[in-house]
Structure 1
């Protein structure tokens, strides 16, 4: 039998925030992969190098972590109110599926720059110098992201002095506004607080009954107090990711919380929905040393947060989870708000394993229900490589 030759597909490898991913224009994908379905999923898995029983993604573009096993598809928007449509695929490392259930807040910072550089934005809108505002339709969850992309000499500015903990080198700042970030009914059960409560008792077999805040904002997230599960809030990755019992506990919490949030109906479904919901634990401020050796003082932050993504403790903080943190912190009575000292606030700075991050949120009550109109944070983005990615022609 003849072996199928490799095909090449135009692609760009980009960093956005503390994540990396392979970016495609929808029009550049093979016809079979331009529509949702098994062909698209198989193609993206092969590009990233999954499923890989070795967990290394050696034969693909993935980096064998949740932060680097990511794909993005961008196209001109069919909606007159938006510039581009952005679809995010979280590729499982060792299992044969792509999770389309949520957004990647970090890669959201790279979508606007990618669109400009790849001809998806009318050139007449690009200033010689200044900032261009890109309205992004986040197709996974049906929400609007407004990206403010810096322009120098008519091109996207990528270098700069904006520093982001979790990213080694400074770059240009990209400001992001997540408009009405509470997940919609299709994406995550409807209300910002799906149970109607700011704090719930969640029964988790083998763990106990935990106080939790379950919120749909940015991405569905389950917050629990660190001390309730035996932690202090200053843990780094190795303290969690090397502990199989701890990882199993967090997955148990995640699965039972997903049922209470209305995201799944059975525990078995959680295995096919790894990207959402997230689980995070919170604690009041304490001094600690970050993964880079940076000393974070208790007075530098309002609270501590550690979050898990795709079954592992994240090395910094997912952008969408940062939106959830900022939103929950702005609502008096949530576990996040209480860990930050309680009261009303519209910004919060939290400590994560790589350092600190500031996020703002505008929240209030409408007809007795909490709503959030906007969450704001800054990220950076940079092209790492561009050209073509190659995969065997019979891989999809």
Structure 2
């Protein structure tokens, strides 16, 4: 019996920050996949190797973690003062859907380099040597990201000595500015604090009533105090990901937080919205040993943070969650700010399972409402492979 042959689609496999994913130019996708819908989702899921009941994504480009089950679609921007439109899809590993509800801050670091190398940025705006500024429209959440990309002899500089905890090898630094990062989420009305409070009592049946800071910045995030849920804030992946009861607890918290934030209207909807919101827990600084064996001293950091992504503790920190951390830290009275010592903080260095990361944010209170003009952090990015991906027709 004859079967349709595989199709070839131009693609680039890239690392951005502590994530990696498959990048496409919109114009290179098959016509049916150039618009949102079932055809696009089916193509991208097949590229990644989902849904996979074995949870391995062996027959695709994914690597069976939330950090590697990712796709990106880029196009020249039609918006004024922007170079490129960036759409991110978080592919479920074992279920047949793609979550388009949020951004990936780590892969944001690869958007500028890819866009320059693939002709999506006006050559007149790219210096032969120095720093190219790429103005990115983040289409998932309707926000602007400014990427500063190093150029050498007319090409993107990928190699360098910038080290990022969670990434084994050094590379060139890419500085990102997340402009006005309070997320425009459905039902959230665009408010940074959708409940109107810096700290809420979040009632989670079977878990208890937890103090929570629920914030829309970078990505909707629910922050908890580590000790309130039986943790220290120094945990590594195996401490939580091997504990089914703990993962079930976090998913309950996430679902009830999503409902309280107005991101869903019924609890059942949380199962189809795996990418957002995130759940994170914070604690005051303490000594610990990172997953690489590196010793982190309490004196090296302002606060400890651990975050879950797609139902598992993240090996480092999601870039968008880092924006949420920096934003929350900058606002006196949030759980993140209090764990970091309180007061006015325009930057924090936080400890995560793989090491530390510094993130800054500029916050101000206008007419009683907190506003953050931008959050800033540095990542790195690198092309791993480029050519075509093949997908059964």
Identify the TM-score tier after normalising by the shorter chain: over 0.9
In 1: Cα distance, 2:75 partner to 2:387 partner = 18
SS of 1:106's partner is helix
Partner of 1:151: 151
In 2: Cα distance, 1:123 partner to 1:213 partner = 44
In the TM superposition, residue 187 of structure 1 has moved relative to its aligned partner by 7.5
| 8 Å CA contact retained: 2:187, 2:264 | no
SS of 1:293's partner is coil
Residue correspondence of structure 1 range 1-396 to structure 2 within 5 A: 1-186=1-186, 188-393=188-393
Structure 2, unpaired ranges of 5+: none
In the TM superposition, residue 186 of structure 1 has moved relative to its aligned partner by 3.5
In the TM superposition, residue 126 of structure 1 has moved relative to its aligned partner by 1.7
In the TM superposition, residue 124 of structure 1 has moved relative to its aligned partner by 2.2
| 8 Å CA contact retained: 1:189, 1:261 | no
SS of 1:54's partner is coil
In 2: Cα distance, 1:327 partner to 1:185 partner = 17
In the TM superposition, residue 188 of structure 1 has moved relative to its aligned partner by 4.2
SS of 1:240's partner is helix
In 1: Cα distance, 2:173 partner to 2:335 partner = 30
SS of 2:337's partner is helix
In 2: Cα distance, 1:125 partner to 1:82 partner = 11
CA offsets 1:282-314 (integer angstroms, 9 cap, x no match): 000000000000000000000100000000000
CA offsets 1:224-258 (integer angstroms, 9 cap, x no match): 00000000000000000000000000000000000
| 8 Å CA contact retained: 2:160, 2:172 | yes
CA offsets 1:32-59 (integer angstroms, 9 cap, x no match): 0000000000000000000000000000
In the TM superposition, residue 127 of structure 1 has moved relative to its aligned partner by 1.3
Aligned CA distance change for structure 1 residues 207 and 349 (closer, same or farther; 3 Å): same
Segments of 4+ moved more than 2 angstroms: 185-189
SS of 1:107's partner is helix
In the TM superposition, residue 123 of structure 1 has moved relative to its aligned partner by 1.7
SS of 2:182's partner is coil
In 1: Cα distance, 2:185 partner to 2:50 partner = 31
In 2: Cα distance, 1:260 partner to 1:363 partner = 24
| 8 Å CA contact retained: 2:74, 2:84 | yes
SS of 2:106's partner is coil
In the TM superposition, residue 318 of structure 1 has moved relative to its aligned partner by 0.2
In the TM superposition, residue 18 of structure 1 has moved relative to its aligned partner by 0.1
In the TM superposition, residue 2 of structure 1 has moved relative to its aligned partner by 2.2
In 1: Cα distance, 2:135 partner to 2:188 partner = 22
In 2: Cα distance, 1:186 partner to 1:278 partner = 16
Question: Aligned pair count?
Answer: 393
SS of 2:150's partner is strand
In the TM superposition, residue 108 of structure 1 has moved relative to its aligned partner by 0.2
In 1: Cα distance, 2:341 partner to 2:327 partner = 15
CA offsets 1:9-47 (integer angstroms, 9 cap, x no match): 000000000000000000000000000000000000000
| 8 Å CA contact retained: 2:150, 2:174 | yes
In the TM superposition, residue 214 of structure 1 has moved relative to its aligned partner by 0.1
| TM-score normalized by the length of structure 2 | 0.99
In the TM superposition, residue 382 of structure 1 has moved relative to its aligned partner by 0.1
SS of 2:51's partner is coil
Q: Compute the RMSD of aligned alpha carbons.
A: 0.7
In 2: Cα distance, 1:8 partner to 1:132 partner = 31
